[in-house]
Amino acid sequence: MYILIGGIFTDWVLAHIKRFFGIDWFTMGRQLFWVRFPDSTKRLESLRQFCENNQLKVTIANRVPFTDEGIQEAFRLQMSRRTV
């Protein structure tokens, strides 16, 4: 499945119809999700401070080459809820 963040005008019309009336007119395997990030400014500021103070340690689970196959593998891992 291809995941699109955002969409064209008609995608948003279909998303409104689905959200408010429960009618799904998206083609099979496609839809637009509503995403809200309330209070994200405070959380992003905290993350920025952690990074600047070297208090954030990142563990890399997998490294993949920057090739077509590597990118496909990275997306497969991401969709399986694994971090890359």
pTM flag (> 0.75): no
The answer on pLDDT for 48 being more than 80 is: yes
Q: What is the pLDDT of residues 60-77, one digit of tens each?
A: 878 999 999 999 998 888
Arithmetic mean of pLDDT, 43-66: 90
d(CA 4, CA 37): 17
**Between 32 and 67, the higher pLDDT residue:** 67
Q: Where are the alpha helices (DSSP H) in the chain?
A: 9-21, 40-52, 68-79
Q: What is the pLDDT of residues 9-29, one digit of tens each?
A: 888 899 889 989 999 998 888
d(CA 5, CA 58): 25
